């Protein structure tokens, strides 16, 4: 009798475990479907003509992919689509590389050095995070005009180097993972501070820096507000501005929704490539960079 009861408990436990796993897999499959369906819909819509898109939703691709690609590629109203892709990539690449590096360097200095005003500097950087970009837009435009930097990429790249959110994440990561004994040992061996950071600390910080590079690249790539304030020449405008120009024609007879979806598809490809290139660092970076409790 006791053996039968024990067997019943074992079978019940196994059944509960299998049931929970099945429901977990079903839930994960459902979430995955919800995440990927917009991308599938975007690809399908990029293969349909403007008339087909206005007719309603369809689940299967059509035969207008090449037509939409040619239309988007040769649209003179946005100058030249590949130029817009290049413009956006230059700004996004410079922003993510410089912003992540100098934010990590700032966080390293705050964590490693003990100086007067250290806590005040940290609090000031955190307070800057709370100021929306729109609040300082007018003054920013006036400064850009006074320095004759309108229609250049410098106002998009240089301010992005100071990234408070990236600094905060990197500081938490350094506090969690970087042993200060390594820095002290490097100093004893005669290494200067920049060499210590670049050759010893950066390999340790690489996972977190890769994660922040992805975030910074995506934020800069999708940025419409700031470029729209200082760029008005077609040959230097970024991709979000080009997309807004094409979308503004949707309500008129000149609008082509197939072209819009094609530009969106082309705009996502560089982001996916950057993500795939750095994705192996994401899980490790998020795990190790968690805030210490």
Burial class for 150, CB neighbours closer than 10 Å (0-12, 13-18, 19+): middle
Show the beta-strand stretches assigned E in 41-181. Answer: none
Please list the alpha-helical segments (H only) found in 46-60.
50-55
CB within 8 A of 229, min separation 6: which ones? 137, 140, 141, 144
Q: Is the pLDDT of residue 2 over 80?
A: no
Residue 151 has φ and ψ, to the nearest 5°, of 60, 35
User: Could you state, in order of their start, the residue ranges of all structural domains in the chain?
Assistant: 1-36, 75-288
Tokens 């990236």: give the residue. Answer: 166
Q: What does the pLDDT look like over 205-239, one tens digit per residue?
A: 888 899 899 999 999 999 999 999 999 888 899 99
Instruction: Pick one of 1.25.40.10, 1.10.3720.10, 3.40.640.10, 3.30.70.600 as the CATH number of 75-288.
Output: 1.10.3720.10
Nearest CA-CA partner of 261 in 56, 57, 65, 35? 65
Token code pair at residue 260: 């819009």
State the average pLDDT over residues 123-129.
Answer: 88
| pLDDT top residue among 282 and 272 | 272
pLDDT the model gives residue 91: 95
pLDDT of 66 > 50? The answer is: yes
Mean residue pLDDT of the chain comes to: 86
Averaged over 139-154, what is the pLDDT?
Answer: 92
Listed in sequence order, the residues at least 6 apart from 225 whose beta carbon sits closer than 8 Å to its beta carbon are: 133, 134, 137
Inform me whether the pLDDT recorded for 247 exceeds 60.
Answer: yes
Do 166 and 127 form a contact (C-beta atoms < 8 A)?
Answer: no
Q: Compute the average pLDDT of residues 44-50.
A: 91
Q: Do residues 44 and 61 make contact, with C-beta atoms less than 8 angstroms apart? A: yes
Q: Return the structure tokens found at 102.
A: 């100098």
CA distance 151 to 293: 46
């Amino acid at each position: 009798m006791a053996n039968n009861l024990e067997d019943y408990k074992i079978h019940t436990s196994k059944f509960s475990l299998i049931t929970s796993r099945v429901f977990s897999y079903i839930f994960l499959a459902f979430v995955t479907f919800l995440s990927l369906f917009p991308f599938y819909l975007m690809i399908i819509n990029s293969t349909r003509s403007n008339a087909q898109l206005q007719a309603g939703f369809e689940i299967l691709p059509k035969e207008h992919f090449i037509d939409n690609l040619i239309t988007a590629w040769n649209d003179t109203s946005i100058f030249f689509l590949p130029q817009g892709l290049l413009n956006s990539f230059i700004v996004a690449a410079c922003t993510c590389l410089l912003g992540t590096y100098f934010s990590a360097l700032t966080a390293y200095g705050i964590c490693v050095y003990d100086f007067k005003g250290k806590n005040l500097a940290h609090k000031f950087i955190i307070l800057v995070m709370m100021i929306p970009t729109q609040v300082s837009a007018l003054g920013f435009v006036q400064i850009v005009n006074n320095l004759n930097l309108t229609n250049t990429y410098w106002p998009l790249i240089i301010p992005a180097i100071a990234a408070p959110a990236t600094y905060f994440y990197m500081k938490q990561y350094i506090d969690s993972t970087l042993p200060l004994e390594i820095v002290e040992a490097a100093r004893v061996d005669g290494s200067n501070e920049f060499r210590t950071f670049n050759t010893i600390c950066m390999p340790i910080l690489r996972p977190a820096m890769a994660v922040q590079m992805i975030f910074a690249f995506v934020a800069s790539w999708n940025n419409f507000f700031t470029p729209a304030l200082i760029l008005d020449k077609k040959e230097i405008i970024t991709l979000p501005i080009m997309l807004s120009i094409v979308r503004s024609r949707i309500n008129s007879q000149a609008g082509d929704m197939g072209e819009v979806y094609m530009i969106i598809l082309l705009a996502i490809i560089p982001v996916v490539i950057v993500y795939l290139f750095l994705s192996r660092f994401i899980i490790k970076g998020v795990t190790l960079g968690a805030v210490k409790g």
